[in-house]
Amino acid sequence: MSALVEAEGLATGYPGCEVGRDIDLAVAAGEVLCLLGPNGSGKTTLFRTLLGLLPAHGGTVRLAGDPLDRLPRGEIGRRAAYVPQAHAPVFPFTAHEVVLMGRTARLGPFAQPGRADHAAAAEALASVGLADRAASPYTDLSGGQRQLVLVARALAQEAPLLVMDEPTASLDFGNQALVLSEIRRLADRGLGIVLSTHDPDHAFAVGDRVALLQDGRIREIGPPDTVLTEAALSAVYGVEVRVETLGSGRRVCVPSLARPAGAGSA
Amino acid sequence: MGRRAGALSRPAFASPGAVAVLAVLLAVAIPIAVLIGPYPMTLGQVLGVVTDRVTGVPARGDTVDTVVFAIRLPRIGAALLVGGALAAAGTCYQTLFRNPLVSPDILGVSAGAGLGAVLGIFLSLPVAAIQGMAFAGGLACVALVAGVAAAVRGRDPVLVLVLAGVVVGALAGAATSLLKVLADPYDQLPAITFWLLGSLASIRTDDLAPALPAVVLGLLPLVLLRWRINVLALGDDEARALGVEVRRLRAGVILCATLITASVVAIAGVVGWVGLVIPHVARMLVGPGFGRLLPVAVLLGALYMLVVDTLARTIGTAEVPLGILTAAIGAPFFLWLLARGRRSWS
């Protein structure tokens, strides 16, 4: 079986500006791949290229075996769902309406969502635990709930692959845990997930594999325990990082905070 | 902010309810508008001539018949058409540009139509030719804006469109001003000024004949594509990731909205504010979903324009240009919206 998404020798970027190159990665069903890298390392550009929102500068992207650039827009939408960062939209659509938009790729150009589409949207919203907020304006929800609504929209899209751009950014501690456990649950249900994050702990928590990006290239890709070493994290982020193992066996990262002399006791 | 905004942003009506209420209001307002005017008529007289026409009795050619069928009904029809059309175009553009402050003029259609009409008046062309030039000017201006936007690649396409609209609109405005300076101040200049403020005073049935099918032609794809247009409100990347061919759909929506706007601006002149304010009110009534919004905005725009035009022809001894009335009503309403201090717009 071919990977849900596969990049080979991929170069990414904007017109006249190359951002990433020599990128090789693949995500299989039931797998979470975490993309980790400092600001400007090309994570968002890579995601947009994987979704066909930006043309590749070189190399190939395949979705479920087929070259991305030969797939029509609707077919891409049926093979990969995009979960952007939770945002505040201009118009107060209800949570149900936002999720229902996930059905678009499964509708003909002139079709309206029917009974089955409404049922799929309601089910997706219920599966992230927000059935009771269906009629609430999206703008009234908390950051974590908004992110879950966008996850539900991707589920309603019924694509086997979820591409999540920093799904835990700008969420508080509790909401981060909520979203991460949902991600793990979805992967266990058989979805392939590629997500970017700024927090190596999140890669330890949910990642089956992790790709460490630096200056537009993948520095290393593999299981979190082997990729996210103290040496690698310190080199990529430019700060000293310690990796500790908790009693439960899970690993966490602890940056050592340099303090100016004399300011430490407070 | 949560609870208060939540209560406000929830739609006040279900869509079928709002459509039904507006249809009833229109059904009441139209006969009233027929009765109001400088020539006094009773309901019985009006019903008499209408019955004669419907039952095929040869027209009597009396004054009541003429006033009803040659003056008031065409004008009422024009008001309904212009109001509904401008509200539809405004609804499209507000969704397309994800900005509730956008009006149908955003891409320069009114500025272009104004230049075309003013050039027609300046050249002392017949009325039909002036209307044709207004229509062509509106389309040409938007085509120029779209061409500029297509040529500037690699930047935010929506921003480029809007900026190009501002620039091309300003250019057309400058050309219009030049023609006003050159125009005959006793004959042409008043006609130009009156046209630029919008009026239905001289509308005849013949004027409606080309505008109505053009508006319907522009409206039809918007109705058919209403679900996808709704998705455009999420922004380019999300809409594309959901399977929408954004570039093509946006071009189609702009074409339709421009056709609709240019058609009515050609017969009514530049009537501002309607396309800006009415979609707002419609969104307050039924929420932001485009499919529900469009019919409510069209009916509401038609009703609003009928009321405003009836005022325009009755409140003074002389006709008040429509643009003045719509601004006088629209601007305070808009300030009220701003004063509510909402973070998101319903």
Q: What is the pLDDT along chain B (346 residues), one digit of tens a residue?
A: 333 333 334 565 677 889 999 999 999 999 999 999 888 898 899 998 888 888 888 766 788 888 999 899 999 999 999 999 999 999 999 999 888 888 888 898 999 999 999 999 999 999 889 989 999 999 999 999 989 888 887 677 888 888 999 999 999 999 999 999 999 999 999 999 888 989 898 888 888 988 999 999 999 999 999 999 999 999 899 999 999 999 999 999 999 999 999 999 989 998 989 999 999 999 989 999 999 999 999 999 999 999 999 999 998 888 889 989 999 999 998 888 778 755 445 4
What is the per-residue pLDDT for B138? 92
Average pLDDT, chain A: 91
> Could you tell me the pLDDT band of residue A23, with boundaries at 50, 70 and 90?
very high
Q: Are A56 and A12 in contact (CB under 8 A)?
A: yes
- Domain range for residue B34? 24-339
> Residue A62 corresponds to which amino acid?
R
Asked whether residue B8 is domain-assigned, the answer is no
Q: Helices B246-268 and B109-122: crossing angle, nearest 10°?
A: 40
- Give tens-digit pLDDT for A116-169: 999 999 999 998 999 999 999 998 898 889 999 999 999 999 999 999 999 988
Asked whether residue B132 is domain-assigned, the answer is yes
> Could you tell me the pLDDT band of residue A265, with boundaries at 50, 70 and 90?
very low
Convert A173-189 to b/e letters by CB count within 10 Å (16 or more is b).
eebbebbbebbeebbee
CB contact under 8 A, A92 and B100: no
Q: Which two tokens stand for residue A250?
A: 């899970």
Asked whether residue B140 is domain-assigned, the answer is yes
CB contact under 8 A, B244 and A76: no
Mean pLDDT of A90-100: 93
What is the per-residue pLDDT for B1? 34
Asked whether residue B177 is domain-assigned, the answer is yes
Of B268, B333, B221, nearest in space to B110 by CA: B268
The β-bridge partners of A112 are none
All structural domains of chain A, each given as residue ranges with its CATH number in brackets, are 5-255 (3.40.50.300)
A161-164 sheet: strands from edge to edge: A80-83, A161-164, A192-197, A32-36, A209-214, A217-222
Of A33, A26, A31, nearest in space to A195 by CA: A33
Place of tokens 């008046």: B121
Task: Note which residues in 101-140 of chain A have CB less than 8 A from chain B.
Answer: 101-102, 104-107, 109-113, 135-137, 139-140
CB half-sphere exposure, B72, CA atoms < 13 A:
23
Asked whether residue B344 is domain-assigned, the answer is no
CA distance B260 to B82: 9
Q: Are B120 and B130 in contact (CB under 8 A)?
A: yes
How far B1 CA lies from chain A's nearest CA (Å)?
Answer: 9
Sort residue B84 into left (φ over 0), alpha (ψ -120 to 50) or beta.
Answer: alpha
Residues of A in contact with B225 (CB under 8 A): 109-110
Q: Helices B205-224 and B127-151: crossing angle, nearest 10°?
A: 30
User: DSSP letters along chain A, please?
Assistant: ---SEEEEEEEEEETTEEEEEEEEEEE-TT-EEEEE--TTSSHHHHHHHHTTSS--SEEEEEETTEEGGGS-HHHHHHHEEEEPPP---SS--BHHHHHHGGGGGGS-TT----HHHHHHHHHHHHHTT-GGGTTSBGGGS-HHHHHHHHHHHHHHTT-SEEEESSTTTT--HHHHHHHHHHHHHHHHTT-EEEEEES-HHHHHHH-SEEEEEETTEEEEEE-HHHHS-HHHHHHHHSS-EEEEE-TTS-EEEEEPPP--TT----
What is the per-residue pLDDT for A260? 58
Percent of chain A with pLDDT over 70: 96
CA distance B340 to B321: 30
Residues of A in contact with B291 (CB under 8 A): 112
Considering only CB atoms, A15 lies closest to which of B6, B153, B230, namely B153
Considering only CB atoms, A110 lies closest to which of B224, B344, B345, namely B224
How far A237 CA lies from chain B's nearest CA (Å)?
Answer: 29
CA distance B28 to B30: 6
Q: Is A76 on the interface with B (CB under 8 A)?
A: yes
CA distance A186 to A206: 11
- The DSSP bridge pattern shows strands A192-197 and A251-255 to be unpaired
Asked whether residue B7 is domain-assigned, the answer is no
User: DSSP letters along B125-190, please?
Assistant: --HHHHHHHHHHHHHHHHHHHHHHHHHS-SS-HHHHHHHHHHHHHHHHHHHHHHHHHHS-TTTHHH
The nearest alpha carbon in chain A to B221 belongs to A110
Asked whether residue B170 is domain-assigned, the answer is yes
CB contact under 8 A, B344 and A139: yes
CB half-sphere exposure, B338, CA atoms < 13 A:
7
- Give tens-digit pLDDT for A179-233: 899 999 999 999 999 999 999 999 999 999 999 999 999 999 999 999 999 999 9
Sort residue B243 into left (φ over 0), alpha (ψ -120 to 50) or beta.
Answer: left
Helix (H) or strand (E) holding B327: helix B322-339
The nearest alpha carbon in chain A to B343 belongs to A90
What is the per-residue pLDDT for B337? 79
Of B10, B263, B226, B270, nearest in space to B115 by CA: B270
What is the per-residue pLDDT for B311? 93
> Could you tell me the pLDDT band of residue A13, with boundaries at 50, 70 and 90?
very high
The nearest alpha carbon in chain A to B345 belongs to A91
Q: Let me know how many helices (H) and strands (E) chain B has, helices first.
A: 16, 0
How far B93 CA lies from chain A's nearest CA (Å)?
Answer: 13
Q: Are A111 and A154 in contact (CB under 8 A)?
A: no
Q: Which two tokens stand for residue B58?
A: 């040869």
**Domain harbouring B295, CATH code:** 1.10.3470.10
Considering only CB atoms, A53 lies closest to which of B6, B9, B241, namely B241
Residues of A in contact with B231 (CB under 8 A): 101, 104
With an 8 Å Cβ cutoff, the interface of chain B facing chain A consists of 2, 5-6, 9-10, 95, 98-100, 153-154, 224-228, 230-231, 233-234, 237-238, 240-245, 283, 287-289, 291, 343-346
CB contact under 8 A, B344 and A14: no
Place of tokens 């049935």: B205
How many domains are contained in chain B? 1
CB contact under 8 A, A105 and B243: yes
Q: Are B233 and A91 in contact (CB under 8 A)?
A: yes
What is the per-residue pLDDT for A257? 77
CA distance A64 to A76: 10
What is the per-residue pLDDT for A2? 79
Q: Is A94 on the interface with B (CB under 8 A)?
A: yes
CB contact under 8 A, A112 and B226: yes
Q: Phi/psi of residue B144, each to 5°?
A: -65, -45
Query: In this model, does residue A96 exceed pLDDT 60?
Result: yes
How far B139 CA lies from chain A's nearest CA (Å)?
Answer: 26
Asked whether residue B16 is domain-assigned, the answer is no
